[in-house]
Amino acid sequence: MRQERVRQESFVQHETAIVDGVDISGQWNKMYEPREITGYDLTWMDKLTAIDGAGSMGWCYQCAKCTGACPVDHVGDYGPRKIFRRLQTGGDLFNSPDLWQCTTCMNCLRVCPKQVDLIKIMPAAREVAVLDGYFPAELQEMFQKVAQYGNPMGDSARKRTRWTRGLEEGIEVRILPKDPAPVEVLWFVGDYYGYHGRGRDAARSMARVFNRLGVDFGILGADEKCDGDSQRLAGETGLFTELAEHNIEQLYKYEFERVVVSGPHAYNAIKNEYPKLGGQFETLHYTQFLAQQLDRLQPLLKGSFKKKVTFHDPCYLGRHNGEYDAPRQLIEALPDVEFIELYRCKQQGYCCGGGGGGMWLDGFMADHVEERLSENRVREAIEVGAQVLAVCCPYEVSRFEDAVKSTGNEGKLEVLDIIEMLDTCMT
């Protein structure tokens, strides 16, 4: 049925109107009154913006600056502008896949003139959803494993130091609960270095590099638990607090000068989140620690690394914590290396898809994106002509190695942790 167009009859008109000296009396000053053009239910928008930390979602004025910045939108249909629009037209974020696609990469906040802060909005909104029991099954499994075993793999704490078994004679790793004398560096090894096959390769490389450099270091061994950053970003605030309090207690048992971490998420958690719970520690990502020792490290790099290498900036080392130089300094210190930047690098770096709980949401994301973010990144590395994609986040080796296979680039691109590259050149 054809609908009759309804004429807007409600207007204001002044008999006499002089504006800036111009007489616009008569029909010229007719102004239609503000009229309601939508009747959307804003219950969900109001519920979201009332949550502590999520209020800035309501500040969006739809400028679309975030549209080109969001890595998920690049392979799907997403971004703060779209989330706001869906909420503004009556949508419910709490029951929507939109709640789980954000990797908290921070690229939108970097460009948003209204400071719509997804880094605070997402964990706050997800916390409500988690408490209400609405979250993807993949996350539930991960939360349970972390709660029960202290790591997302669901492996026993005893196995946390098993990676040390593959070390050559003379490479020492002091396990502090067994030998608690003061150390200069407490190395927070992390779950992927502790349990994942490729992570363990990197852990052994770190132990070798530390030994050759003469670093006085120790680890927490079986007393270390997951740093909790990803759980916090995925909305499990209670679990994060439990993990953080445990690690803080363990760390305070020993005397050391600084914590050196393997991964950007542990870095973010210990540096920025643990202080809120009473844990104050000088914290360095391993690339920062080693870059500070470059004078001593460089003479030890004797082997050639004659390859074209590119580097993926981890969101939580780069955009979140402002460190772009240290990893590049280490790569460029490799003898004969040819370093090439990715098109999207440093502040504008593309996300691997593993942040904000994304590490455990690949199955869920497959229904919402055309290709994985890690696949998109691998294609970019191939396009710039790299032979090696260098990383310094323990999540990324496995993510990118999978993506190399799924994009059909096996044999064309190697994925290596920077610590493995340094180790290779020291032998």
Binding site residues, ligand SF4, CB under 6 A:
60-66, 69-72, 79-81, 84, 102-108, 111-114, 116, 118
Write out the two tokens for 329: 């300094």
> Which is nearer to ligand SF4, 100 or 163 (by Cβ)?
100
Cα–Cα distance, 176 to 219 (Å, whole number): 6
Work out how close the CB of 280 gets to ligand SF4 at its nearest, in angstroms, rounded to a whole number.
28
Work out how close the CB of 346 gets to ligand SF4 at its nearest, in angstroms, rounded to a whole number.
16
Q: How many Cβ atoms sit within 10 Å of the Cβ of residue 266?
A: 29
Work out how close the CB of 57 gets to ligand SF4 at its nearest, in angstroms, rounded to a whole number.
8
Work out how close the CB of 132 gets to ligand SF4 at its nearest, in angstroms, rounded to a whole number.
21
Cα–Cα distance, 246 to 31 (Å, whole number): 65
Work out how close the CB of 83 gets to ligand SF4 at its nearest, in angstroms, rounded to a whole number.
7
> Which is nearer to ligand SF4, 71 or 199 (by Cβ)?
71
Alpha-carbon dihedral sign for residues 50, 55, 58, 64: negative
- CA distances, 280 to each of 177, 244, 274, 288 (Å): 20, 12, 7, 18
Indicate the SS3 state at residue 259: strand
Indicate the SS3 state at residue 280: coil
H helix count then E strand count, the chain:
19, 13
Give CA angle at 349 (344, 353), nearest 5°: 115
Work out how close the CB of 119 gets to ligand SF4 at its nearest, in angstroms, rounded to a whole number.
6
Give phi and psi for 260, each to the nearest 5: -115, 130
Work out how close the CB of 16 gets to ligand SF4 at its nearest, in angstroms, rounded to a whole number.
41
Query: Buried (b) or exposed (e) across 348-369, using 16+ Cβ within 10 A?
Result: ebbbbbbbbbbbbbbebbeebb
> Which is nearer to ligand SF4, 106 or 125 (by Cβ)?
106
